[in-house]
Each structure stands twice: as C-alpha cells, then as structure tokens.
Amino acid sequence: MNPDANIATPALTQDASGSQSPQPPVARREPTEHVLHGDRRMDHYAWLRHKENPDVTAYLEAENAYTDATLAPTAGFQEKLYQEMLGRIQQTDLSVPYRLRGFSISRERRRASSIPSTAAAATRRVRRKRSCST
C-alpha cells in the first residue's frame, strides 16, 4: 500500500458469495509537521487528536458502524465466549487481612450480576473484626 495515496474507497464491495460487505472507512491525510530537538517528522493523522472536531466524531462513528456491521454475524459466539469467561472468573475477591489499630481488616469485592457487563462495577465492603490478642 502506498502511504502517499489519498484514494477514497467505495462503501460496499461484493465478495465471492455475492453478498455485500462493508469496507472500513479511510481517514483522510492532512500532513502536519512536528519539529522536536531539530528532528522533523510528519504526522498525517494529527487531526484525529482534536476530539471536539465534528470530522473526527463522524470518522469514529463510521469506524464504529463498520465494526458493528463486520462483527454482527459473531454476536452469538461473542455472548457464548463472554458467558464462558464469566463462569471461569471468581466473582468474589477477598484481600489479605491486615491489622490496623487492633482490628483485622480485609476487603471483599463482589460483582453485581444484575449490572450489564459494559457498566459493571465492583462493590466494596470492608470487614472489621476486633482482635482479642494483644
């Protein structure tokens, strides 16, 4: 692939089976020169760092749409893998107890199963037990 080529790609192509598959979006190249300690370098994608730019947002939305469309046939398999991984992960995590001002303290983290995986947060509870030994 020629890095200097600035060619737009068509939105859809046909594969061997005749169905149309989406093509990934191509980011435009805007050469930006950076000079640091006398060393000059060109960054053709520096414009992607400006997150408030509507062009950046549109490009990222196009990438997300491409990813969703490409991975849509594997949605069932992804869920199956996710459930298998959950089955292998310990859902409750206990820290090693330590002593603090006469108390034995440990932390327990439980993952709430009713929270979706994308927004899952570990809940924390501190156990304090008064130690009888001096």
Average of per-residue pLDDT across 7-13: 40
pLDDT 10s digits, 33-44: 999 999 999 999
The span from the CA of 10 to the CA of 54, in Å, is: 22
pLDDT, residue 113, reads: 55
Residue 97 has pLDDT above 90, yes or no: no
Q: Is 73 left (phi over 0), alpha (psi -120 to 50) or beta?
A: alpha
User: Which of the four pLDDT bands, split at 50, 70 and 90, describes residue 22?
Assistant: confident
pLDDT, residue 20, reads: 76
pLDDT, residue 108, reads: 78
User: Which of the four pLDDT bands, split at 50, 70 and 90, describes residue 118?
Assistant: very low
Residue 130 has pLDDT above 50, yes or no: yes
CB neighbours of residue 35 within 10 Å = 8
User: Can you give the residue ranges of every domain in the chain?
Assistant: 12-73, 87-130
CA distances from 104 to 67, 94, 107, 125, 134 (A): 49, 13, 10, 14, 12
The span from the CA of 77 to the CA of 122, in Å, is: 26
Average pLDDT, the chain: 76
